[in-house]
Amino acid sequence: MRVEILSAEGKNISFPIPEFLADNPISLRLAASKISEHSPLRFTARDLKVILHTIKAYKRENGGDLLLVDVESSSGDKVKIWI
Protein backbone atom coordinates (compact mmCIF):
# COMPACT_ATOMS: atom_id res chain seq x y z
CA MET A 1 0.00 0.00 0.00
CA ARG A 2 1.27 3.48 -0.82
CA VAL A 3 -0.20 6.80 0.27
CA GLU A 4 0.76 9.96 -1.62
CA ILE A 5 -0.10 13.43 -0.38
CA LEU A 6 0.65 16.30 -2.76
CA SER A 7 -0.08 19.68 -1.25
CA ALA A 8 -0.95 22.70 -3.35
CA GLU A 9 2.07 24.46 -1.86
CA GLY A 10 4.36 21.83 -3.35
CA LYS A 11 5.06 19.78 -0.23
CA ASN A 12 4.83 16.18 -1.36
CA ILE A 13 4.77 13.16 0.92
CA SER A 14 4.72 9.57 -0.26
CA PHE A 15 4.93 6.73 2.18
CA PRO A 16 4.79 3.04 1.47
CA ILE A 17 3.09 0.83 4.04
CA PRO A 18 4.29 -2.79 3.88
CA GLU A 19 1.42 -5.27 3.62
CA PHE A 20 2.39 -7.07 6.82
CA LEU A 21 2.05 -3.76 8.68
CA ALA A 22 -1.33 -2.91 7.13
CA ASP A 23 -2.75 -6.40 7.51
CA ASN A 24 -2.45 -7.06 11.23
CA PRO A 25 -5.07 -6.72 14.01
CA ILE A 26 -3.49 -3.68 15.67
CA SER A 27 -3.16 -1.65 12.45
CA LEU A 28 -6.66 -2.62 11.34
CA ARG A 29 -8.19 -1.60 14.71
CA LEU A 30 -6.27 1.67 14.62
CA ALA A 31 -7.35 2.35 11.00
CA ALA A 32 -11.01 1.55 11.79
CA SER A 33 -10.95 3.90 14.77
CA LYS A 34 -9.30 6.73 12.79
CA ILE A 35 -11.74 6.32 9.88
CA SER A 36 -14.68 6.57 12.31
CA GLU A 37 -13.09 9.56 14.03
CA HIS A 38 -12.42 11.57 10.88
CA SER A 39 -15.19 10.54 8.46
CA PRO A 40 -18.82 9.48 8.45
CA LEU A 41 -17.77 5.96 7.37
CA ARG A 42 -18.18 3.14 9.89
CA PHE A 43 -15.95 0.09 9.60
CA THR A 44 -14.83 -2.51 12.11
CA ALA A 45 -11.31 -3.98 11.99
CA ARG A 46 -12.89 -7.17 10.65
CA ASP A 47 -14.61 -5.21 7.83
CA LEU A 48 -11.27 -3.66 6.87
CA LYS A 49 -9.58 -7.08 6.89
CA VAL A 50 -12.22 -8.47 4.50
CA ILE A 51 -11.87 -5.40 2.24
CA LEU A 52 -8.07 -5.70 2.21
CA HIS A 53 -8.20 -9.40 1.36
CA THR A 54 -10.75 -8.86 -1.43
CA ILE A 55 -8.54 -6.16 -2.96
CA LYS A 56 -5.46 -8.37 -2.66
CA ALA A 57 -7.32 -11.19 -4.44
CA TYR A 58 -8.27 -8.74 -7.23
CA LYS A 59 -4.62 -7.65 -7.52
CA ARG A 60 -3.42 -11.25 -7.69
CA GLU A 61 -5.76 -11.94 -10.60
CA ASN A 62 -5.27 -8.67 -12.47
CA GLY A 63 -1.69 -7.74 -11.62
CA GLY A 64 -0.33 -4.27 -11.00
CA ASP A 65 -1.16 -1.67 -8.39
CA LEU A 66 -4.72 -0.46 -7.92
CA LEU A 67 -5.35 3.26 -7.45
CA LEU A 68 -8.12 2.87 -4.90
CA VAL A 69 -8.74 6.50 -4.02
CA ASP A 70 -7.74 9.69 -5.82
CA VAL A 71 -8.92 12.91 -4.22
CA GLU A 72 -8.19 16.46 -5.34
CA SER A 73 -9.50 19.33 -3.26
CA SER A 74 -10.55 22.65 -4.74
CA SER A 75 -7.47 24.18 -3.10
CA GLY A 76 -5.22 21.84 -5.10
CA ASP A 77 -4.26 19.32 -2.41
CA LYS A 78 -4.21 15.74 -3.68
CA VAL A 79 -4.34 12.41 -1.88
CA LYS A 80 -3.85 9.10 -3.64
CA ILE A 81 -4.00 5.65 -2.12
CA TRP A 82 -2.45 2.82 -4.11
CA ILE A 83 -2.85 -0.76 -3.08
Partner 1 sequence: MAQTLGKRISDSRKRKGFTQDQLAEEMGVSSQAVSKWENDISCPDIGLLPHLADFFGVTLDELMRGDQEKVAQVIPESERKDPNKMIMRIRVLSADGDKVNVNLPMALVKMGLQSGMLDSMVGGNENLKGIDFDSLVHMVEQGAIGKLVEVESADGDLVDITIE
Chain residues binding partner 1 by CB under 8 A are: 39-43, 47, 50-51, 54-55, 57-58, 61-62, 66-74
Which lies closer to partner 1 via its Cβ, residue 18 or residue 74? 74
CA angle 24, 37, 47 (to 5 degrees): 40
Distance of CA 22 to the CA centre of its chain: 9
Q: How large is the angle between the packed helices 25-38 and 45-62, nearest 10 degrees?
A: 110
Which lies closer to partner 1 via its Cβ, residue 20 or residue 62? 62
CB of 62: closest distance to partner 1 in angstroms?
6
